[in-house]
Amino acid sequence: MPHYRTIESPVGPLMLVGDQASLRRLAFVRDGEPEPEDGWQRDTRGALDGVCRELEAYFAGRLTRFETPVVPEGTAFQRRVWQALCGIPYGRTVSYGELARQIGAERAVRAVGAANGANPIAIVIPCHRVIGANGSLTGFGGGLPVKRALLDLEQGKRRLL
């Protein structure tokens, strides 16, 4: 049974969903605490403590790779894109076209963009590392200022904690 917790972070409140074995969702919270889905239990026993510690270390600039296992729910194509996102090195960016080429779907740039936008585990699956072909920041679930802050953190330009 999934557990959920909302935590404060330097980029705003985040909702975590998972269990002691894996993380299933990490979403930006807007306008108060989101409603849990049927079957979710509030994390009162520390099931999500490990990923919380990793996020704290990440925001402090001490963690460059998350170890918490992730189990994102999506189509086979989406999961392929999300797996490729995990291969983008900390502090680096790629374009949507580069990402499409990496997964062998050169003509599916828009579909790659849609899958990137549907990423259910923000930050840990680093969709913020994908930018436009011209180097511009493009859409991000947490908003473009958050995307810029995360990229600046990873490129050593800024500390968030």
Residue 33 has pLDDT above 90, yes or no: no
> In which band, very low, low, confident or very high, does the pLDDT at 34 lie, cut at 50, 70 and 90?
confident
41-76 core/surface letters (b: 16 or more CB in 10 A; e: else): eebeeebbebbbebbeebbeeeeeebebebebeeee
How far apart are the C-alpha atoms of 53 and 60, rounded to whole Å?
11
What is the set of domains in the chain, with CATH numbers? 3-59 (3.30.160), 76-154 (1.10.10.10)
Q: Which entry of 27, 55, 123, 127 is annotated as an active-site residue?
A: 127
User: Average model confidence (pLDDT) for the chain?
Assistant: 94
Active site (annotated) includes residue 52 = no
Predicted confidence (pLDDT) per residue in 120-142, tens digit? 999 999 999 999 999 999 989 89
Mean pLDDT for 13-18 is 96
How far apart are the C-alpha atoms of 2 and 97, rounded to whole Å?
35
DSSP label of 33: P
Indicate the pTM of the whole model.
0.93
**pLDDT of the residue at 161:** 61
